[in-house]
Amino acid sequence: YLSGYNYEVYHSLEEIQNWMYHLNKTHPGLIHVFSIGKSYEGRPLYVLKLGRKSRTYKRAVWIDCGIHAREWISPAFCQWFVKEALLTYKSDPTMRKMLNHLYFYIMPVFNVDGYHFSWTSDRFWRKTRSRSSRFRCRGVDANRNWKVNWCDEGASMHPCDDAYCGPFPESEPEVKAVATFLRKHRKHIRAYLSFHAYAQMLLYPYSYKYATIPNFSCVESAAYKAVNALRSVYGVQYRYGPASSTLYVSSGSSMDWAYKNGIPYTFAFELRDTGHFGFLLPEMLIKPTCTETMLAVKNITMHLLKKCP
């Protein structure tokens, strides 16, 4: 499935799940697939644990993709990351060090119901697919549903809005499942990375307020080096900075929640492009987008391993 699976096309949810099942069987030394719960519509929420198996304590990095259904380049990157990790583990000293020293928890499709819906019905669907008996509109913005300044500025109380925060924090089973997992493992999760599209940005906390994080120095230098590394591949410029001032203020985001809950290094990527194709990034741009982003992620990981407390 490394050479037979096409990482340069977008895959349906079923294809991605089959890919995970296969990797779980064929790479037992580096991959373990497990479910952390079920989506609103009853689909399993799969996570890949990637890294050399070790009895000794290892820290971890969490990576999630596909929080917003229509951002298809995001799950494509998660698959690319796993592929690159497996392909280069033996040949690339950096990747070997990463997988030997850390575990990576990769959630290729966070919003499984929304992703499936964007494949079958509405290509531009964003939210989850939960229903409420009180309202005619479905879905909650899974990046406004976290318990951090929940439903304040930058989120909407209206169920029909795309930035709807939900009836209460962690109302979405997908959010609840990931939050539960991260709470349980927060002592050894060192970094949280979340992938979205589109804007070409690398963001760090805070989203919900204009303020500087206590460990700004290490986070900012990691981001600075990462965007430089990214640009070195094809010359693509990414802006970086706190989400509130670089993008806009939004409350209830996963990145802010992870940071508030003790994960010291949290980032959100907004991948290509800046509007020419928007959510319709052509498949021929999957490879360059993922290649440059891969370098940025490796850069961040190594910086955090070597330079940050």
Identify which of residues 241 and 278 has a Cβ nearer to other proteins in the complex. Answer: 278
- Smallest separation, CB 171 to other proteins (Å): 18
Phi/psi at 185 (5° precision): -110, 15
Q: Which CB, 20 or 286, lies closer to other proteins?
A: 286
Residue closer to other proteins by CB (options 51, 169) is 169
What minimum distance in Å lies between the beta carbon of 10 and other proteins? 9
Nearer to other proteins, 35 or 283 (CB): 283
DSSP string across 177-208: HHHHHHHHHTTTEEEEEEEEESS-EEEES-SS
| Residue 280 exposure: Cα atoms within 13 Å on the Cβ side | 5
Examine the residue annotation and report whether 270 is marked as an active-site residue of this protein.
Answer: yes
CB atoms within 10 A of CB 225: 16
Per CB under 8 A, residues contacting other proteins are 6, 8-9, 121-124, 126, 141, 154-156, 161-163, 198-199, 247-248, 250, 275-284, 287
| Choice among 71, 270, 283, 292 that is catalytic | 270
Sheet holding 59-65, edge to edge: 31-38, 44-50, 102-107, 59-65, 189-197, 265-271, 201-204, 239-242
CB of 237 to other proteins, least distance (A): 15
Whose tokens are 């919900």? That residue is: 208
Minimum CB separation of residue 50 from other proteins in Å reads 25
d(CA 198, CA 235): 17
- DSSP-assigned letters across all residues of 123-146: TT--S-----TT-S-----TTS-S
Residues designated catalytic = 270
